[in-house]
Amino acid sequence: MSEPRIRVYTDEDVDVRVAEQLKRLRYDVASCRDEGNAGRRLSDDWQLGYAAEHGRAILIHNIPHYVVLDRDWKAQGREHAGIICAPMRTLLGELVRRLRRHLDAVRPADQHNLLRFLA
């Protein structure tokens, strides 16, 4: 039996097609829209909390905000399932390829409570 993969939640500013393409490839990915959280003006802290509550690493573009959130959460003793950072300007196909490589190579335990940049 293969090891479980990281479960992902995509932040609101991540193109929903990322989640759609990865779901077709049988990755466990939920978008902000899928979960009914889009268009509600929810804070990045709320989004990270939602992902953590559901055992999902969050894929984000808003890197500066999440770097601060990660630091603040750790200072408060709070944990999350991981923050996966990708620059906003990454093309859709390239983002999907990089995320697939990441999900295929990194175990959930190795992503837990870490902020990591997609290679």
Q: Could you tell me if residue 60 is inside a domain?
A: yes
Q: Could you tell me if residue 112 is inside a domain?
A: yes
Q: Could you tell me if residue 3 is inside a domain?
A: no
- Tens of pLDDT, residue by residue over 29-88, are 999 999 999 889 999 999 999 999 999 999 999 999 999 999 999 999 999 999 999 999
CATH of the domain at 102: 3.40.50
Q: Could you tell me if residue 20 is inside a domain?
A: yes
Q: Could you tell me if residue 95 is inside a domain?
A: yes
pTM: 0.94
Give the 3-state secondary structure of the chain: CCCCCCCEEECCCCCHHHHHHHHHCCCCEEECCCCCCCCCCCCHHHHHHHHHHCCCEEEECCHHHHHHHHHHHHHCCCCCCCEEECCCCCCHHHHHHHHHHHHHHCCHHHHCCCEEECC
Q: Could you tell me if residue 85 is inside a domain?
A: yes
User: Cα torsion at 37, 60, 115, 27 (round to 10°)?
Assistant: 80
